């Protein structure tokens, strides 16, 4: 359970950012959409990086060691990228639920 500890400062920052956006007139849905899109793009970037590094590591093994033809499965890549983006969006929604549940005045007083 190492992941929640580093995310604590970011959680407070997201709560303050959400409170400021609420004060400026953003609706809860707009804020949630912005955070979900941000986390989805991060998930997509992580998936693309994983695919690129995995392909770079697998190519020499497949072509030089096993001496076979290199084939790239684009359907699997698309599924992987969609999955990482979806998981990123879900993580973003869960991470911002706490930030959006607090009233702006109480959040800004704590800051």
Give, for all 111 residues of the chain, the pLDDT tens digit. 344 444 555 667 888 998 999 999 999 999 999 999 999 999 999 999 999 999 999 999 999 999 999 999 999 999 999 999 999 999 999 988 887 888 888 888 886
What pLDDT score was predicted for residue 8?
53
Residue recorded with tokens 């990123």: 88
- Which candidate, 100, 94, 75, places its Cα nearest to that of 15? 100
Tell me, what's the pLDDT at 91?
Answer: 92
3-state secondary structure 3-68: CHHHHHHHHHHHHHHHHHHHHCCCCHHHHHHHHHHHHHHHHHHHHHHHHHHHHHHHHHHHHHHCCC
Positive or negative torsion for Cα 103, 28, 21, 88: positive
What is the pTM (predicted TM-score) of this model? 0.81
- Per-residue confidence (pLDDT) for residue 11, from 0 to 100: 67
**Do residues 96 and 12 touch, judged by C-beta distance below 8 A?**
no
- Nearest Cα neighbor of 81 from 41, 37, 24 is 41
């Amino acid at each position: 359970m190492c992941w929640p500890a580093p995310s604590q400062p970011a959680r407070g920052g997201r709560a303050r950012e959400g409170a400021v956006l609420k004060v400026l007139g953003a609706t809860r849905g707009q804020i949630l959409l912005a955070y979900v899109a941000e986390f989805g793009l991060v998930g997509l970037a992580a998936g693309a990086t994983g695919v690129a590094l995995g392909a770079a590591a697998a190519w020499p093994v497949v072509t030089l060691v096993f001496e076979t033809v290199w084939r790239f499965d684009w359907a699997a890549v698309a599924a992987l990228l969609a999955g990482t983006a979806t998981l990123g969006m879900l993580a973003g929604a869960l991470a911002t639920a706490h930030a959006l549940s607090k009233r702006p005045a109480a959040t800004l007083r704590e800051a």
